[in-house]
Amino acid sequence: MIHILIVDDDPKLNKTVCIYLNDCGFETTGVLDAQAAYEALNSRPYDLIVSDIMMPGVDGFAFARSVRQLDKHIPILFMSAKDDLPSKQKGFQLGIDDYMVKPVELAELEMRVRALLRRANIEAERKLTVGNLVLDADGMTAEIDGEEVPVSKREFNILYKLLSYPKKTFTRAQLMDEFWDADTDASLRAVDVYITKLRDKCSACDGFEIKTVRGLGYKAVLL
Amino acid sequence: MNKRTKGESLFPMWLFFVYLGVLLLMSGIHSGLLLGAGQWGWGGLLRTLSPILYWAAVAGGLTVFTRYRIRITYEEPMLRLADATRKVAKGDFSVYLAPIHTPDKTDYLDQMFLDFNQMVEELGSIETLKTDFFSDVSHEFKSPLAVISGSADLLQKSPALTDRDRKEVDSIRDATRRLADLIQNMLKLNKLEKQTIRPAPSVFDVCAQVCSCAVQFEDQWEKKNLDFEADLEDSADVYADPGLTELVWNNLLSNAIKFTPPGGAITLTQKTMDHWVEVSVRDTGCGMTDETMRHIFDKFYQGDTSHATQGNGLGLALVKRILELSGGEITVESQPGQGSVFTVRLPRPEGQEAQT
C-alpha cells in the first residue's frame, strides 16, 4: 500500500483530495498544518507528500526545506493558489518534484502522483524495464531480451530520460541543455542524429517507440 | 516644514548687486577708455573698434558666467531629479538621490531631494503592501474554487450519477475552471497595469521557450486532431522578461487551439530580423472582421459570442500589456473564415550581456 501525506490548511479541500486519492487505491493521511505533518512523518514512513504553500505557521517552502534535509528522495508535490514564476522557481530550488496551481483537477493530480511514484521507484531501483528492454542506471547498460546492446553514455542518458517520462515531449533544446556541455558548438541537429541512432538500436524493442513531435522534439510512447 | 534657514535663494540679492557693481565698473572703464583714446591719439578705426570689442568681451563674459551658474545650481540637480522621477514612475522604488551639499550647507534643493527620497521610500512600502494584498486576494478567491472543483471531481466519480447528473457536474467543473482562469488573468492584468509586476528583462533563448510552451499543448491539439507545425530557428536571443513572455505564448497558442475547428492547422514560425525576433502563430480558425480586430486587445471583448463560453476576454489584453512593457509589439492579420495570424516582435539583445 502506498501512503500519501496531504498537507493543506483547508479542511474541506484536504478531505476531498484524501477521498479521491483513497478511491484511486492509495492510503492517505490529511493534516492541516506543517506541525501536524512533522508529527505524521515521525510516526510512519510515507511514499509521497502533497503540500500547500500558504499555510498558517510554517509555510510550504519551509516545510519542504526541512523535509528535504531529512529525506532526499521522497517526492514532494506542491499544490498552491500561487501561480507566479518566482514561487514555482523557489519551490523547485528547494527540491520539490512537481507543482500544480489550484484549483487542481483531481484526475490530473492522480496522474501526476502516479508519475512521481513511478519515477521515485525507478530512482530507487536504478533500473528501468520497458517491454523487453532493461536499462541499468548503475552500469549504464541496455539489454534487449537479455542481450546487451552497446550504447554510448549520452545515448543511454537520453533513452533513460525519455523512458522515465513516457508520453512527455522533450524539446530538442531541453535535451541539448541536459546532455551536452553548455559550451558545445553542436546544433540542435545533433539531437536528431542521436535519436536516429537510438531508434536504430532499439528497433527490436517491443515496449515503446520514440515519436517525433514535428519541429519541436521527441517523446517515448509506451505500446 | 518651513525650514528657510540657510540659503533662502540660490540666486540671492547680493548676487544682483555684484552684477550691478560689475556693470557700473565696466561702464566706468568704458568712459576711461574713450577719454584715453582721445589723449593717446588713437586712429579712427581703433577708436570705433575698441569699445565694440570691449563690450563684446564684457557681454560674453557675463553670459558665460550666468550660464555656468545656472548649470551648476539648477540644471544638473534638476536633470538628476528628472531621471530619478522617471525611474520611480517606471516602478523602481530603490532610487536614492544624494543631496548636493553637506548637511551644514543644505539649501532648498537639497531639502527637496531629501523629501523626494522619503516619498519614494514610503511609496515602496505601500507597493509591497499592495503586492501582498493581491496575492492574498488571489489566494482567498481560489481556495473556495479549489473546494468546488475538487468536490465536483469527486462527485463525477460517483457511480450513482445518471448521465444527466454527470453533465451538470461537468458544467460545474467547467465554470469553476473558467472562473479560476478569469481571476488569474484579472489579477495579472491588474498588477501589470498598476505596475506591481515590474518586468525583469534578461537575455534568453526565445526558441527554446516557445518550444517548451508549445509541447504543453500537445494533448489539446491531438484531441482536436489539429495539424501542428513548428518552423523555428535553433536558437534566437531576445531581451525581455521570460516569466511574462511565457504568458504571451501560452495565451496565443491556447487561443489558436480554441478557435481552430477540428482538422485545422496551426503553424508556429519564428524569424530573426535586424533588431527584432519575430514569432507568429497562424491558425485556420474562424478569423475576424476588421471591427473585431480593432477591439480584440480590449478588456472583456469577445469577438465571436458563440465562443464566449471558452474564454474570459482578458488574455489578449494581458498579452498586449506585457508587450508594451517589454518594448515589443503584437500585430494581427485576419479575414473572416480565413484564420488569423498573430505576430509578436521582441527586441534582440543589444549591448546587454548574455546570461548563462
| Confidence at B64, pLDDT banded by 50, 70, 90 | very high
Contacts of B234 in chain A (CB under 8 A): 187-188
| A103 to B148: CB separation less than 8 angstroms, yes or no | yes
Q: Percent helix, strand, coil in chain A (nearest 5)?
A: 45, 25, 35
Preferred mutation among B179, B218, B249, B356 to probe A, highest tally of A CBs within 10 A: B218
Q: What is the pLDDT of residue B305?
A: 57
Instruction: Tell me what ipTM this predicted complex has.
Output: 0.74
B228 lies within 8 A of chain A by CB: yes
Cβ neighbours of residue B198 closer than 8 Å, sequence gap 6 or more: B90, B91, B92
Q: What is the pLDDT of residue B306?
A: 56
CB B210 within 8 A of CB B153: no
A121: helix, coil or strand? Answer: helix
Whether residue B307 is predicted with pLDDT greater than 60 in this model: the reply is no
CA-to-CA distance for B66 and B22, rounded, in angstroms?
Answer: 13
pLDDT tens string A137-164: 888 889 998 889 899 999 999 999 999 8
Provide the phi-psi class of A57: left if phi over 0, else alpha when psi is between -120 and 50, else beta. Answer: left
Report for A76-80, B1-5, B106-110: range of highest mean pLDDT = A76-80
Q: Quickly count: other Cβ atoms within 10 Å of residue A83's Cβ.
A: 17
What's the average pLDDT block by block, 10 residues per block, for chain A (223 residues)?
93 94 94 93 93 91 93 92 83 92 90 91 85 89 89 91 89 89 82 92 89 89 87
| A171 to B212: CB separation less than 8 angstroms, yes or no | yes
Q: What is the pLDDT of residue B314?
A: 79
The most distant pair of C-alpha atoms in chain B lies apart, rounded to whole Å, by 127
Whether residue B312 is predicted with pLDDT greater than 70 in this model: the reply is no
B289: helix, coil or strand? Answer: coil
The alpha helices in chain A, defined as continuous H runs, are: 11-23, 34-43, 60-70, 85-93, 106-125, 153-164, 172-179, 189-201
Whether residue B4 is predicted with pLDDT greater than 60 in this model: the reply is no
B142 lies within 8 A of chain A by CB: yes
Whether residue B3 is predicted with pLDDT greater than 70 in this model: the reply is no
Name the percent of chain B lying above pLDDT 70. Answer: 89
pLDDT tens string B221-249: 888 899 999 898 888 999 998 888 988 99
Q: What is the pLDDT of residue A220?
A: 92
> Angle formed by the axes of helices B108-156 and A11-23, to 10°?
40
Average pLDDT over residues B142-166: 89
The alpha helices in chain B, defined as continuous H runs, are: 13-40, 44-70, 76-89, 108-156, 163-193, 206-215, 218-223, 242-259, 290-295, 315-325
| B154 to A85: CB separation less than 8 angstroms, yes or no | no
Q: What is the pLDDT of residue A28?
A: 95
Average pLDDT, chain B: 83
